[in-house]
A and B are shown apart, each in its own frame.
Chain A
Amino acid sequence: MSQAPIRVLLVDDEEDFVEMLSLRLEASGYVVECAASGPEGLEKLDSFGPQVIILDVKMPGMDGYEVLDEVQRKSPGLPVVLMTGHGDAASGEAHGAYATMIKPADYLELTEIINNAASG
Chain B
Amino acid sequence: MDQPPRLLLVDDEERFRQVLSKRLERRGLPALQAPDGESGLALLAETPVDVMVLDMKMPGLSGLDVLKRAKEDHPDLEVILLTGHASTQDGVAGIKAGAFDYLTKPVEIEHLAGKIRQAQEKILREREKREEADFRARMESRMIAAERLASLGTLAAGVAHEINNPLAVINDAAGWLQEVSKQTPPQPPLDKFLAKGLEKIANSVERARLVTHQLLSHARGSAPSLTETDIGKLGEEALQLVGKQARNKSIELRVDVQGDGRVLSDPNQLRQVLINLVTNAIHATDKGGSIAIKVEGKDKFVDVSVTDTGKGIPEENLPHLFEPFFSTKPAGEGTGLGLFVTGGILTRLGGAIDVSSTVGKGTTFTITLPRKGPENGLCAHTDPSTGDNWACRLGRALEKPTQKNLGNDQAQEEQS
Chain A contacts to B: CB under 8 angstroms: 14, 16-17, 20-21, 23-24, 27-28, 85-88, 90-91, 102-105, 107
Closest to B221 in A: A87
Which residue in A20, A91, A102 is a CB contact (below 8 Å) of B169? A20
Smallest Cβ distance from A66 to chain B, in angstroms? Answer: 20
The answer to whether A103 and B164 touch (CB under 8 A), given A87-B217, A88-B220, is yes
Smallest Cβ distance from A20 to chain B, in angstroms? Answer: 4
- Whether the pair A90, B222 counts as a contact (CB closer than 8 A) is yes
The answer to whether A107 and B175 touch (CB under 8 A), given A27-B183, A85-B161, A85-B164, is yes
Rank and list the top 4 A-B pairs by shortest CB-CB distance, nearest first: A87-B216, A87-B220, A85-B164, A20-B172
- Whether the pair B165, A27 counts as a contact (CB closer than 8 A) is no
Kindly state the separation between the CA atoms of A20 and B216 in the bound complex, as whole angstroms.
24
The answer to whether A90 and B172 touch (CB under 8 A), given A14-B165, A28-B179, is no
B213 within 8 A of A: yes
18 new A-B contacts, CB < 8 A, other than A24-B173, A85-B164, A103-B168, are: A14-B165, A16-B169, A20-B176, A21-B172, A23-B176, A24-B172, A85-B162, A86-B220, A87-B161, A87-B216, A87-B219, A102-B164, A102-B213, A102-B216, A104-B167, A104-B168, A104-B171, A107-B175
User: Using a CB-CB cutoff of 8 Å, which residues 209-238 of chain B contact chain A?
Assistant: 209, 213, 216-217, 219-222
Categorize the interface residue count of chain B. Answer: 20 to 34
- Whether the pair A90, B169 counts as a contact (CB closer than 8 A) is no
Closest to A29 in B: B179
- Whether the pair B168, A105 counts as a contact (CB closer than 8 A) is yes
Q: Contact flags (1/0) for B155-190 with A, using CB distance below 8 Å?
A: 001000110110111111101100110010000000
Which residue in B165, B173, B183, B220 is a CB contact (below 8 Å) of A103? B165
Smallest Cβ distance from B182 to chain A, in angstroms? Answer: 9
- Whether the pair B205, A104 counts as a contact (CB closer than 8 A) is yes
The answer to whether A104 and B209 touch (CB under 8 A), given A17-B172, A20-B169, is yes
Chain B contacts to A: CB under 8 angstroms: 157, 161-162, 164-165, 167-173, 175-176, 179-180, 183, 205, 209, 213, 216-217, 219-222
Kindly state the separation between the CA atoms of A104 and B220 in the bound complex, as whole angstroms.
17
Give every chain B residue within 8 A of A88 (Cβ-Cβ): 220
Give every chain B residue within 8 A of A17 (Cβ-Cβ): 165, 168-169, 172
The answer to whether A86 and B167 touch (CB under 8 A), given A20-B172, A104-B205, A107-B172, is no
Kindly state the separation between the CA atoms of A17 and B167 in the bound complex, as whole angstroms.
9
Give every chain B residue within 8 A of A21 (Cβ-Cβ): 168, 172
Kindly state the separation between the CA atoms of A105 and B180 in the bound complex, as whole angstroms.
20
Closest to A83 in B: B168
Give every chain A residue within 8 A of B173 (Cβ-Cβ): 20, 24
Smallest Cβ distance from A7 to chain B, in angstroms? Answer: 19
Smallest Cβ distance from B225 to chain A, in angstroms? Answer: 10
Give every chain B residue within 8 A of A86 (Cβ-Cβ): 161, 216, 220
- Whether the pair B176, A24 counts as a contact (CB closer than 8 A) is yes
Kindly state the separation between the CA atoms of A14 and B172 in the bound complex, as whole angstroms.
13
Kindly state the separation between the CA atoms of A91 and B221 in the bound complex, as whole angstroms.
11
Give every chain B residue within 8 A of A91 (Cβ-Cβ): 222
Closest to B183 in A: A27
Give every chain A residue within 8 A of B179 (Cβ-Cβ): 24, 27-28
Give every chain B residue within 8 A of A87 (Cβ-Cβ): 157, 161, 216-217, 219-221
The answer to whether A103 and B167 touch (CB under 8 A), given A24-B176, A27-B176, A27-B183, is yes
- Which of A20, A104, A105, A107 has the largest count of B CB atoms less than 10 A from its CB? A104
Kindly state the separation between the CA atoms of A87 and B173 in the bound complex, as whole angstroms.
23
Kindly state the separation between the CA atoms of A14 and B180 in the bound complex, as whole angstroms.
23
23 A-B pairs with C-beta separation under 8 A: A16-B169, A17-B172, A20-B168, A20-B176, A24-B173, A24-B176, A27-B179, A27-B183, A85-B164, A85-B165, A85-B168, A87-B157, A87-B161, A87-B217, A87-B221, A90-B220, A90-B222, A91-B222, A102-B164, A102-B213, A103-B165, A104-B164, A107-B175
Give every chain A residue within 8 A of B169 (Cβ-Cβ): 14, 16-17, 20
Smallest Cβ distance from B151 to chain A, in angstroms? Answer: 17
Kindly state the separation between the CA atoms of A43 and B172 in the bound complex, as whole angstroms.
26
Closest to A26 in B: B176
Smallest Cβ distance from A81 to chain B, in angstroms? Answer: 14
Give every chain B residue within 8 A of A24 (Cβ-Cβ): 172-173, 175-176, 179
Kindly state the separation between the CA atoms of A17 and B220 in the bound complex, as whole angstroms.
24
Smallest Cβ distance from B261 to chain A, in angstroms? Answer: 28
Smallest Cβ distance from A37 to chain B, in angstroms? Answer: 16
Give every chain A residue within 8 A of B219 (Cβ-Cβ): 87
Kindly state the separation between the CA atoms of A104 and B209 in the bound complex, as whole angstroms.
7
Kindly state the separation between the CA atoms of A16 and B162 in the bound complex, as whole angstroms.
14
Give every chain B residue within 8 A of A16 (Cβ-Cβ): 169
Kindly state the separation between the CA atoms of A10 and B176 in the bound complex, as whole angstroms.
16
Smallest Cβ distance from A34 to chain B, in angstroms? Answer: 13
